[in-house]
Amino acid sequence: MVGQNPQHTYRKDGVFYYCRRVPKDLLFKYDETRIVMSLRTKSITAARKSAATITSRLDEYWMSIRIAEMNIPSLLTLETANAGNRQIKISDALVNYHHLKGIGRDVLFFTTSTRFVGYVIDILGDRHIGDYSSSDAAALRDHLFDRGLSSSSVRRAFASIRAVINLAIKEHGLNCSNGFTNTFIPDLEDTKRRVPIPSTNLRLVQLKCKEIDDDLRWLISLISDSGMRLSEAVGLLKTDIHLQDDIPFIDLVPHRWRPLKTGNSKRRIPLVGCSFWACSRILSSSDSDFAFPRYTDVNRCNSNSASATLNKWLRPLVPDNCVVHSFRHSFRDRLREVEAPTEITDILGGWATKSIGQKYGNGFKLDVLAKWMRRIA
């Protein structure tokens, strides 16, 4: 029937809810006789897909409970072994994660993973990692949504939590499972889309940068015509900048204080327009080895602080929802406008290549990349 609610759902104020009775033989596992949760959507198509996924997961989970309750010696032995292994608390797992995975990582790595694990401890308690169940993970998910986090933010939190627990399980040879694996997170389409900066605003920003002519404006100018990520620019050494070559360029390589996001991020970027001007000003500035010593030293690259300061200055000069990262969106659009090949665009921006074939050979020479950079300048 057209308009009929998907199986196990009902509507309240237009929003779909999932509702399913708990089987009688499993009531001992629950405080309520029904499972009720908001699907956080008014779309019948999205609700149908979400409900089917939850139903499938519940069927699998309930079957695992029934099997666990059977008097099978091997299963009882495994259960006993698991119980003996659950001795690592999630707070200890986080310390272990930072110790092993934190080498060369920036401050953001530590602050975000600490915040995400903090969600678990605040809501579910600091337990042994094997004691968190899938229903605990679902409760955490619902709590984060109730706090106003977007779908993408909840996914990032769960990805970090899973990584912390998985590493502890592997390092300590535990037999327990990770309760945060395969938690269903609905796609609410609530993520704010970053938009490119229009060309008129871009030119205005660049003119303002040259008028003020300080290190913060050099940073904005550098990324505005190079397509670099903010952290990539903030962590530069002056020796990474080559202005005296026939084709001026930046040799973007990882540093201990600032690793690169992906393997494709390591690249050579021809300098044109405002990025060339910014590099000229950087090299003629202080005696520091760092391009931006205000934010970078041998121990850290504080691109988060730079982002907050620059976004505050940019706000009155650009449309709503435009931020520092919007320069990268504009950079890609500008290359589209001059009909640059996709492979050229991916290389210049440090984006992942789309095919295996693109990884063959030595890649494009600097003069070919410079040709396309000059077209957008």
pTM: 0.61
Contact 335, 344 (CB under 8 A): yes
pLDDT in tens, 139-185: 999 999 888 888 888 999 999 999 999 999 999 888 889 999 989 98
Sign of CA dihedral 331, 332, 336, 340: positive
Contact 371, 270 (CB under 8 A): no
Q: How far is CA 208 from CA 199, 242, 314, 328, in A?
A: 14, 25, 10, 19
3-class secondary-structure state, position 304: helix
- State residue 74's pLDDT score: 46
Share of the chain above pLDDT 70, in %: 89
How many secondary structure helices (H) and strands (E) does the chain include?
Answer: 14, 6
Average pLDDT of span 208-213: 96
